[in-house]
Structure 1
Amino acid sequence: MGIFRIDPLMLKLIITVLLASFLPARGHFVDVFEWLTTAAIALLFFMHGAKLSREKIIAGGGHWRLHLWVMFSTFVLFPALGVLFVWWHPLQLSQEIYTGFMYLSILPATVQSSIALTSLAGGNVAAAVCSASASSLLGVFISPLLVSLLMNVHGDVPGGSLEQIGKIMLQLLVPFVVGHLSRRWIASWVERNRGLIGKTDQASILLVVYSAFSEAVVNGIWHRVGVMTLVWIVVGSLGLLFVVLAINLTAARLFGFNRADEITILFCGSKKSLANGVPMANILFPSAAVGIIVLPLMIFHQVQLMVCSMLAQRYRKAAEKQLVQQKETDSQAMAGPQK
């Protein structure tokens, strides 16, 4: 069952967390890794901007009803569920873990996996490119504001000020814009080296995770997070994901979207970006808290890939079955008059 294989990035994240657990950065290495992390985040978002094609966005930009619902799901529905989840406290988790769930709920959607799964399921790929890219870009503005608005209300973030939003703009938005504006000179190189850029993305995320967990290990994260906590995080991730998927599916059918658009809404409106979330957490939260706060996001990342891969394959098989039935019906219709 290929759908149950661990995502390669998740495997690398596990190895990175183990490395940070046994060999955390200490002393002067902390400053070195802090500088490397800042540079890696800037490079990561520069590459995101360089990969963003205006032509693809324009091609899928006409489906405004679809895009509005995806943005609503990502930045209104998900955060509302996050607030409800934190208020309800249904699981035996610490306040820091609940902060992590609240944080993942305000993040933008993934880009690569949303588009890949939409394509696999037979959805509207052009619209998925537009929605996922717009979500990623808007998230640079909206997610820090939601952190300040929602998480400060619960007393979870000691800062959350305009200074933090300024850091987000400087470290994430400026490299993103510079990368996108550089496309006229580097677009062909970007297209030829997408594999290399993907590795750069992963290396940047792993570096941030190593730095965050090194700090968390020094501050005793594994004395606060046990096996049952990890199990409860998986349960919480599954519950949150299933509620969002059910609401998106119901809304897509209620509002009369066709099958291709339904698939796009389902996959673009239910994802949360690890690539955006980890670097942003490194800027928004105190160093000692980042490791434990991104833990729910890391687990949710794997859960969303597994569940949505299963859904995508079901959509694909249903489409193939429908195509076979249509061919049989057409064959019978053509054979009828001949008799």
Structure 2
Amino acid sequence: MILKLLRKMAGDWFLAGMIAAVVLASLFPGFGAAGGAMHADVVSDAGIFAVFLLHGLALSTRSLRQGMARWKLHLLVQTLTFVAFPLLFIPFKAVFGGLVPEGLMLGFLYLCALPSTIQSSVAMTAIGKGNVPAAIFNATLSGLLGIFLTPAIVGLAIDMQGAGGMPFGKAVANLATLLFLPFVLGQVLRPVFGRLAARHKKGINVFDKLVILMLVYGSFCDSVKSGLWTNNGIEVIAMTIGGAALFLGMALFISTKVSARLGFSKEDQITAIFCGSKKTLASGVPMARLLFGAHPALGMIVLPIMFYHQLQLFVCSIMAGRFASRFDAPTVPDASGAGGPAVAAVRVRSQA
């Protein structure tokens, strides 16, 4: 299983693209930096608007309605995402604040404040035989709430540290204009263009990833010009991987224990685990560009979510496979032989 996943990641063009974007930004930072020939600000805004317009076109409103009833599950997932996760940052900063560079620490704060991701949350829930309609609803709700809660959480923490940052009102206005507005517009246009979007789902997914790669490149161009690599070494990468793995492990542990303690069904537990531990790269990089603008450490700020994204896919793929295997386990007739194989077959069907 692990070797299969490693081979899959090795052939992932998006992962290779992120590495290439960082390398190109390190070699040619002037082109994509603020004021460069790429005109990163204009191109980035246009790309972000287009991505969320297409997200709105592609998302089924019927699937959202089907998942709305499980309010206890929704409350748990959103609490994990926007309360428990940000609270984990407090002990992390207390322990590692003297070791982790300021820009990278801001990146970990930003990671904790991000909403869940739609695509991989739903995909992992489906593979693990969880509650897919509830996963769709939760991941979508998380993305919409993140437009308002992510800048609020980051702004509150920055103010507590006595640092400057984009005003909350301006941050929300930027996110609403370039994320929420096109998403709503896509939903409005869905009756007309929804089938067209469905037919070109793969192309939309590719475009989505290309925009993210462009944003990663632009973010690192600004940071490289500000001394990202000259002022920091390989230890930054090691810190980022270690910190991302630590946050993922804590999130999976908490979501697993709490959902089980609340007595959720196995299907709802799987949904809570995958939706409550995920963080979005697709929205995270565009939001970082809008929230932090030309911040000199922007490249370092997005590093944690870049590594967290790959780790969550790797670990959660293994977990989803194990969850799904519960349906493959052979059933053993009871000692009395009552019912024999017929009872075993009924048991398997009842589990499904």
TM-score range, shorter chain: over 0.9
- Checking the alignment, whether the CA contact within 8 Å between 2:63 and 2:136 is kept in structure 1 is yes
Structure 2: which amino acid aligns with 1:70? V
**Paired residue for 1:318, among 313, 326, 331?**
326
- Which consecutive unaligned segments of at least 5 residues does structure 2 have? 343-352
Q: Cα RMSD over matched residues?
A: 2.1
Question: What is the alpha-carbon distance in structure 2 between the residues aligned to residue 211 and residue 308 of structure 1?
Answer: 29
**Paired residue for 1:298, among 295, 302, 306?**
306
Structure 2: which amino acid aligns with 1:308? C
Secondary structure at the aligned position of 1:29 is classed as: coil
What are the equivalent positions in structure 2 for 1:38-53 lying under 5 Å apart?
38-53=45-60
* 1:181 correspondence with 2:188: yes
The Cα offsets for residues 260-294 of structure 1, whole Å up to 9 and x where unpaired, read as 11111000000000111100110111412211100
Q: Which moved more, 1:268-277 or 1:81-90?
A: 81-90
Question: What is the alpha-carbon distance in structure 1 between the residues aligned to residue 98 and residue 207 of structure 2?
Answer: 37
**Paired residue for 1:227, among 225, 234, 237?**
234
Question: What is the alpha-carbon distance in structure 2 between the residues aligned to residue 225 and residue 53 of structure 1?
Answer: 45
Structure 1: which amino acid aligns with 2:322? R
The Cα offsets for residues 221-274 of structure 1, whole Å up to 9 and x where unpaired, read as 112332222112111111111111111111111100011111110000000001
TM-score normalised to structure 1 length: 0.92
* Gap change, CA 1:41 and 1:247, over 3 Å in 2: same
Question: What is the alpha-carbon distance in structure 2 between the residues aligned to residue 309 and residue 224 of structure 1?
Answer: 36
* Gap change, CA 1:33 and 1:333, over 3 Å in 2: same
TM-score normalised to structure 2 length: 0.89
Structure 2: which amino acid aligns with 1:17? V
Q: Which runs of 4+ in 1 moved over 4 A?
A: none
**Paired residue for 1:2, among 4, 13, 24?**
4
Which residue does the alignment assign to 1:203? Answer: 210
- Checking the alignment, whether the CA contact within 8 Å between 2:67 and 2:135 is kept in structure 1 is yes
Secondary structure at the aligned position of 2:122 is classed as: helix
Per-residue deviation, 1:34 = 2.0
Which residue does the alignment assign to 1:279? Answer: 286
Which residue does the alignment assign to 1:249? Answer: 256
Matched residue count? 334
Question: What is the alpha-carbon distance in structure 2 between the residues aligned to residue 170 and residue 281 of structure 1?
Answer: 15
Which residue does the alignment assign to 2:146? Answer: 139
**Paired residue for 2:158, among 132, 151, 160?**
151
Question: What is the alpha-carbon distance in structure 2 between the residues aligned to residue 41 and residue 165 of structure 1?
Answer: 15
The Cα offsets for residues 9-45 of structure 1, whole Å up to 9 and x where unpaired, read as 2221111111111122438634622211110011111
Identity %: 34
Per-residue deviation, 1:128 = 0.7
Which residue does the alignment assign to 1:262? Answer: 269
Structure 1: which amino acid aligns with 2:288? A
Question: What is the alpha-carbon distance in structure 1 between the residues aligned to residue 341 and residue 176 of structure 2?
Answer: 67
* Gap change, CA 1:100 and 1:118, over 3 Å in 2: same
Which residue does the alignment assign to 1:97? Answer: 104
* Gap change, CA 1:161 and 1:128, over 3 Å in 2: closer
Question: What is the alpha-carbon distance in structure 2 between the residues aligned to residue 199 and residue 237 of structure 1?
Answer: 25
Which residue does the alignment assign to 1:128? Answer: 135
- Checking the alignment, whether the CA contact within 8 Å between 1:51 and 1:190 is kept in structure 2 is yes
* 1:308 correspondence with 2:316: yes
Which residue does the alignment assign to 2:221? Answer: 214
Which residue does the alignment assign to 2:83? Answer: 76
* 1:66 correspondence with 2:68: no
Per-residue deviation, 1:310 = 1.4
* 1:17 correspondence with 2:19: no
* Gap change, CA 1:126 and 1:91, over 3 Å in 2: farther
- Checking the alignment, whether the CA contact within 8 Å between 2:151 and 2:168 is kept in structure 1 is no
Question: What is the alpha-carbon distance in structure 1 between the residues aligned to residue 229 and residue 172 of structure 2?
Answer: 30
Per-residue deviation, 1:89 = 1.8
Per-residue deviation, 1:335 = 4.5
- Checking the alignment, whether the CA contact within 8 Å between 1:91 and 1:236 is kept in structure 2 is no
Question: What is the alpha-carbon distance in structure 2 between the residues aligned to residue 312 and residue 262 of structure 1?
Answer: 12
Per-residue deviation, 1:67 = 0.6
Per-residue deviation, 1:160 = 3.2
Question: What is the alpha-carbon distance in structure 2 between the residues aligned to residue 273 and residue 38 of structure 1?
Answer: 18
Question: What is the alpha-carbon distance in structure 1 between the residues aligned to residue 287 and residue 143 of structure 2?
Answer: 12
* Gap change, CA 1:60 and 1:313, over 3 Å in 2: same
